Amino acid sequence: MAKTPDGKNTSGRGQRDLTVKVKTARGRTSSSTRWLQRQLNDPYVKRAQIEGYRGRAAFKIMELDDKFRFLVPGARVLDLGCAPGGWCQVAVPRVNALGDKQGKAVGRIVGVDLQEVEPIMGCEIHQLDFMSDDADQQVKAWLGGKADVVMSDMAASSSGHKQTDHLRIIALCEAAAYLAFDVLEVGGTFVSKVLAGGAEGELQKLLKQRFEKVANVKPPASRADSSEKFVVATGFRG
């Protein structure tokens, strides 16, 4: 067993996972200090860095797919608001976008965002406002047909007012749902982030009219103190 000069072992066995504390620096607000401390001590942030994902959000879609199994080999996937790309990264091996799994169907992934996103092998990324009039036709052209999965981890810019932010993200989710109605294959799946806050009832009603099953899930990777949850709608009726 390796030991330090003072004789203590460095195997990690029996050692505590020490919490990193951040001192408030001049020019840094207390809220930004709390955010930084949370990031430094977040196990999902550490895992993302080790495993090469572009953010901790990758584990949210990973956990959702482990439960509902919508990212299957051969699937056509549309990722709305895909920056920084973590969800696309997770989807690539699961839909066999690179064709690594011999004998399995090869999937296709298209990510769209208002901002430029660094390329991801196995994923086609475009700058696009998905609310534009011809977005559905453009997406289907890129995918080579209708999508099997439309997924979104989008969040509207924070205003600092909880109810306003809730209404904004619900409106964004509804817009994503309407695009999904236009591009999804019958039997397809819609996955989107929402914020709990009371206004999501109409969205739930809308989705239940168009999908066989609608589930509301808070995956383990979603922070306990966050009001976010994810809606997973399966079995698109067309």
* Active centre residues (catalytic): 193
Token reading at 11: 């195997």
Identify the CA nearest to 111 among candidates 137, 139, 131. 139
Contact 211, 234 (CB under 8 A): yes
Q: How many CB atoms lie within 10 A of CB 196?
A: 13
The helix (run of H) or strand (run of E) holding residue 231 is strand 228-236
d(CA 120, CA 44): 21
d(CA 97, CA 71): 11
Burial of 6 (0-12, 13-18, 19+ CB in 10 A): exposed
What sections of the chain are H helices per DSSP? 30-40, 43-51, 58-68, 86-94, 135-143, 162-183, 201-210
